[in-house]
Amino acid sequence: MNKHYIFGAMLLLTSSLAFAQQKPLTTNTGAPVGDNQNSVTVGQDGPVLLEDIHLIEKLASFDRERIPERVVHARGAGAFGEFVAAADMSAYTKAKFLSQAGKKTPVFVRFSTVVHGNGSPETLRDPRGFATKFYTEEGNYDIVGNNLPVFFIRDAIKFPDMVHAFKPSPILNKQDPARVFDFFSHQPEATHMLTRVYSDYGIPASYREMNGSSVHAFKWINEKNEVVYVKYTWKSKQGERNLTMAEAAKVQSQDFQHATVDLYTNIKKGNFPQWDLYVQVLKASEFEKLDFNPLDATKTWNESVAKSMLVGTMTLNKVPDNYFDSVEQSAFSPGTLIPGVEASEDKLLQGRLFSYFDTQRYRIGANFQQLPVNAPKVAINSNNQDGALSNKGKSSDTNYQPSRNDNRPDNAAYKHSSARYGDVAITQARISKPNNFKQAGEFYRSLDETNKANLIKNLVADLGQVQNREIQKIMTGYFYMADSDYGKRLAKELKLTREEVEAALQNAQKQ
């Protein structure tokens, strides 16, 4: 037999077997698709028939591919991994995933930019979101933070206004520094965060090379029901690296999604990024000795106030199989808590406890926690039921509690801790000890000369576009109050005198 004929027959057989092993294309209900290239028509040149179910399903599915974009943190990338506890933290918290050194907990992390929309360049000046979901044996626990350790505001009532100022103009659909600084000229507490975000830390070189922070304080409760306040910090084992304005422009000209590419490329190569998790601890009795409110989201806890303790190490080692399923549909909330962790009285955090859950229910639906990326690894045993796309699989006739037919006891370990507030009245006022400028000045003085120069250059690039000189004067005044050298440099670049700045501040304080 001709050897070429044998080779050809073997090649044909191999191709046939490979074709047979391929999964056939199906409709959403699993029926095989006969022709995915041509619609069903009346004759060769007639109109398309409505009875072409595959065509109608395909178009209808395509029309519904998008879900509402996140209002903030729209642009992101995520990865799966593992957290390994470094020590037994049970002296402070009864959270089981921190109960012994070496204990492993699977995680999912989503990194993001904050203000800009989905598809925007990852080189833009912006805080970066750093949200971690721990799939613990007691349910899911989310640490939802940013790369920078503070925030612009300290009260959630200002959050919608702040985001509106950052977002494009409702008239021109264009982001405008004049709108941003107009808002912040009324918010002196933003001076600290503005100093950080306009430094080179405002553009991390990659998601792998940035730190993370809970920003807010939380409560840890141990088995004795003793309460301490904690703040979390993720420290990159790859080191921190940032981009200057010029470097960011160069990167963006080559690849506007460089941070996502960098994260996924390194994980696929086996270069798994790692972060150490540290915690700082304060007792409520220590609050009074501080010259600021430690529950103020515009403040950090310096090491002199509370030493950092290593809690564990996180390694990201798996890229999601499908971006939409795992990253776009992932849902985080600072209210996703477990026994041993509670929210603090931080006024910004208190608003986020409502807003984050609410936006996920709007964006993804009432049953967003059933999606695989959001679902806990433990059994769900609640009386919540039904709703769009429910897949709870409830089979009991008793969907209420208490019941003599289905006696499911409460979990005493998750009972809320006690707190006393004394003889107080309901009030609506600014916090005590705002101390708006001290930490901003300390951060400025911690920068080397190159970074100070870059900070001034970055600020002038945006603040210099503001036509309203009164806003320029007030903002410069805030930076003066943080550090005189800081204010002088900025005033010089904006061609402002100190007398003009002081007069503007005095007028602003009278308003």
Q: Where are the alpha helices (DSSP H) in 295-380?
A: 323, 347-363
Looking at residue 98, what DSSP letter applies?
G
Nearest alpha-carbon partner for 337 in 430, 219, 253, 244: 219
C-alpha count within 13 angstroms, C-beta hemisphere, residue 491:
23
Cβ atoms within 10 Å of 479's Cβ, excluding its own: 29
Three-state secondary structure readout of 256-297:
CCHHHHHHHHHHHCCCCCEEEEEEEEECHHHHHHCCCCCCCC
Q: 414 or 57, which is more confident?
A: 57
Nearest alpha-carbon partner for 153 in 352, 425, 395: 352
- pLDDT of residue 254 exceeding 50, the answer is yes
- pLDDT of residue 390 exceeding 90, the answer is no
Average pLDDT over residues 268-283: 98
- pLDDT of residue 470 exceeding 90, the answer is yes
In this prediction, residue 2 has a pLDDT band, given cuts at 50, 70 and 90, of: low
> Cis bond leading into 339, ω under 30°?
no
Give the tens place of pLDDT for each residue, 71-90. 999 999 999 999 999 999 99
Per-position DSSP letters for 220-248, written without gaps between them:
EE-TT--EEEEEEEEEETT---B--HHHH
The pLDDT value recorded for residue 21 is 65
- How far is residue 266's CA from residue 317's CA, in Å, rounded to a whole number? 9
Q: What are the structural domain ranges in the chain?
A: 76-157+205-376, 438-510
The b/e string for 419-436 (b: 16+ C-beta within 10 A; e otherwise) is eeeeeeeeeeeeeeeebb
- pLDDT of residue 508 exceeding 90, the answer is no
Is residue 39 classed as helix, strand or coil in its secondary structure? coil
The pLDDT value recorded for residue 477 is 97
Contact 88, 101 (CB under 8 A): yes
The pLDDT value recorded for residue 214 is 98
- φ, ψ (nearest 5 deg) of residue 487: -65, -40
- pLDDT of residue 43 exceeding 90, the answer is yes
Looking at residue 48, what DSSP letter applies?
B
Average pLDDT, the chain: 92
- How far is residue 444's CA from residue 331's CA, in Å, rounded to a whole number? 35
- Residue 356 assigned ligand-binding role: yes
CATH assignment of 76-157+205-376? 2.40.180.10
Average pLDDT over residues 45-68: 92
Please name the amino acid found at residue 306: A
The b/e string for 217-256 (b: 16+ C-beta within 10 A; e otherwise) is bbbbbbeeeebbbbbbbbbbebeeebbebeebeebbeeee
Q: Which residues contact 194 (CB under 8 A, 6 or more apart)?
A: 152, 184, 440, 459
The pLDDT value recorded for residue 158 is 96
Cβ atoms within 10 Å of 461's Cβ, excluding its own: 14
- How far is residue 191's CA from residue 477's CA, in Å, rounded to a whole number? 10
For a pLDDT cut of 70, what percent of the chain falls above it?
A: 96
The pLDDT value recorded for residue 4 is 52
Torsion sign (Cα): 398, 399, 402, 406:
positive
The pLDDT value recorded for residue 7 is 52
In this prediction, residue 380 has a pLDDT band, given cuts at 50, 70 and 90, of: confident
Q: Among 73, 192, 216, 258, which one carries the catalytic annotation?
A: 73
For a pLDDT cut of 90, what percent of the chain falls above it?
A: 83
C-alpha count within 13 angstroms, C-beta hemisphere, residue 387:
15
Q: Among 116, 140, 146, 192, which one carries the catalytic annotation?
A: 146
- pLDDT of residue 26 exceeding 70, the answer is yes
Taking the alpha carbons at both ends of the chain, their separation in whole angstroms is 100
Give the tens place of pLDDT for each residue, 115-127. 999 999 999 999 9
Looking at residue 167, what DSSP letter applies?
S
Looking at residue 50, what DSSP letter applies?
T
Whether residue 116 lies in the annotated active site = no
Contact 335, 343 (CB under 8 A): yes
Q: pTM of this prediction?
A: 0.91
Whether residue 146 lies in the annotated active site = yes
Residue length, the chain? 511
- pLDDT of residue 5 exceeding 60, the answer is no
Average pLDDT over residues 215-219: 98
Give the tens place of pLDDT for each residue, 344-368. 999 999 999 999 999 999 999 998 9
Cβ atoms within 10 Å of 307's Cβ, excluding its own: 11
The pLDDT value recorded for residue 401 is 73
Contact 228, 282 (CB under 8 A): yes
In this prediction, residue 17 has a pLDDT band, given cuts at 50, 70 and 90, of: very low
Task: Tell me the two tokens of residue 187.
Answer: 């918010």
